[in-house]
């Protein structure tokens, strides 16, 4: 913690009434207007898009064109069902559509010449609409014999093989986005007030620091915990499943200084005492409040001031009111 470098280590030798020479380690402090902390939160890298792909209709798998690890582009045909029946149904529907279209055109001419009734023309129009809708329906059914890649990605899993007879909705392939990943991080609520959506934050990944954008925040805490799920998006691709550590740096406005925990003694009403040596070399007991603590140090505010020498050992190393030579 860089703030701790403000201390100047000094060793003072004291001669007590027992004529025993003792050394006292003290720290010269500087009062700060703020303090900074860094918190680390681990998270798992996940693809931004991940889909299990299935056929929308039942049938027999004719071909699977990809395997695990293959890169594919949006719109690529990844797998195909036996489409002979769908083609036959489409050809029948097209024939009916073509015929109904010819009949409708002929009836429109005959109507203009006054040779048929309005009812006959209306029936021809109705037959054409029905034939057209059936033709469109079977075109869709033929398209459904294909699995199309929904985005650029990598094949993550292949569940079945050629020749398998399946029902609709049975997963055939799993595809993940190959362009970007995101990290899902559980962040305590107390730190979220210092974070902003769309801001970049540092992550430690594979020994390097990379940037990610704070994209989304889950609206509720999972299981009643005091944390929320924060989602960060990376601008480059990393292996999904890897662990990345959010390095959250927070700066707080507060007047005080960092002191070692071993220099503090508990006092009344949640306050603490700290022993310092003033400019007259007299041991003084100061009252302080712990604003924040981290590792072996605490950021405190109270009656201490610039230039005070804080006794590291606290009450076990010094006597209040005594003069240090």
pTM of whole model > 0.85? no
| CATH class of the domain at 83-144 | mainly alpha
Residue ranges, comma separated, of all CATH 2.40.30.170 domains in the chain are 40-49+177-251
- Please tell me the distance from the alpha carbon of residue 196 to that of residue 213, in angstroms, as a whole number: 10
Mean pLDDT confidence for 49-76? 96
Q: Give start-end residues of each CATH 2.40.420.20 domain in the chain.
A: 2-30+256-316
Domain 53-81+147-174 indexed as CATH 2.40.50.100: yes
Dihedral of alpha carbons 53, 56, 60, 63, sign: negative
CATH fold for domain 2-30+256-316 = 2.40.420
Residue intervals in the chain for CATH 1.10.287.470? 83-144
Structure tokens, 311: 């006794």
CA distances from 76 to 63, 148, 159 (A): 13, 6, 19
**Residue 83: closest CA among 126, 138, 45:** 138
For the chain, the C-alpha Rg in angstroms (whole number) is 38
Q: Please write the tens of the pLDDT for every residue from 111-162.
A: 998 889 999 999 999 999 999 999 999 999 999 999 999 999 999 999 999 9
Burial class (CB within 10 angstroms; exposed 0-12, middle 13-18, buried 19+) of 230: buried
Residue position matching structure tokens 């003033």: 278
Instruction: Quick: pLDDT tens for 222-254.
Output: 666 788 999 999 988 888 888 999 999 888 888
CATH class for domain 40-49+177-251? mainly beta
- What pLDDT, in 10s, does the model give residues 158-212? 999 999 999 999 999 999 988 889 999 999 888 888 899 999 999 998 889 999 9
């Amino acid at each position: 913690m860089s703030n701790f470098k403000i201390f100047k280590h000094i060793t003072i030798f004291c001669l007590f009434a027992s004529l025993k020479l003792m050394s006292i380690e003290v720290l010269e402090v500087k009062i700060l207007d703020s303090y900074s902390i860094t918190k680390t939160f681990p998270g798992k890298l996940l693809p931004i898009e991940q889909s299990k792909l299935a056929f929308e209709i039942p049938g027999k798998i004719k071909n699977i064109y990809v395997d695990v690890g293959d890169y594919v582009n949006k719109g690529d045909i990844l797998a195909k069902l036996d489409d002979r029946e769908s083609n036959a149904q489409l050809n029948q529907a097209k024939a009916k559509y073509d015929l109904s279209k010819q009949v409708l055109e002929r009836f429109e001419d005959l109507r203009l010449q006054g040779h048929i009734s309005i009812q006959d023309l209306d029936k021809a129009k109705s037959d054409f609409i029905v034939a057209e809708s059936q033709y469109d329906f079977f075109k869709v059914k033929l398209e459904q014999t294909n699995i199309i890649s929904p985005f650029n990605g990598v094949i993550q899993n292949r569940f079945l093989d050629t020749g398998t007879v399946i029902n609709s909705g049975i997963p055939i392939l799993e595809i993940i986005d190959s362009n970007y990943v995101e990290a899902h991080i559980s962040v305590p609520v107390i730190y979220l007030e210092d974070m902003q959506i769309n801001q970049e934050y540092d992550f430690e990944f594979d020994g390097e620091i990379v940037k990610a954008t704070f994209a989304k925040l889950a609206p509720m805490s999972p299981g009643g915990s005091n944390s929320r799920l924060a989602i960060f998006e990376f601008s480059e691709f990393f292996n999904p499943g890897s662990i990345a550590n959010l390095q959250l740096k927070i700066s707080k406005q507060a007047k005080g200084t960092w002191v070692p925990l071993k220099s503090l003694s508990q006092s009344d009403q949640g306050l603490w005492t700290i022993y310092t040596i003033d400019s007259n070399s007299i041991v003084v007991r100061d009252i302080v409040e712990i604003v924040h603590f981290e590792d072996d140090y605490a950021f405190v505010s109270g009656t201490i001031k610039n230039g005070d020498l804080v006794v590291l050992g606290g009450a076990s190393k010094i006597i209040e009111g005594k003069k240090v030579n």
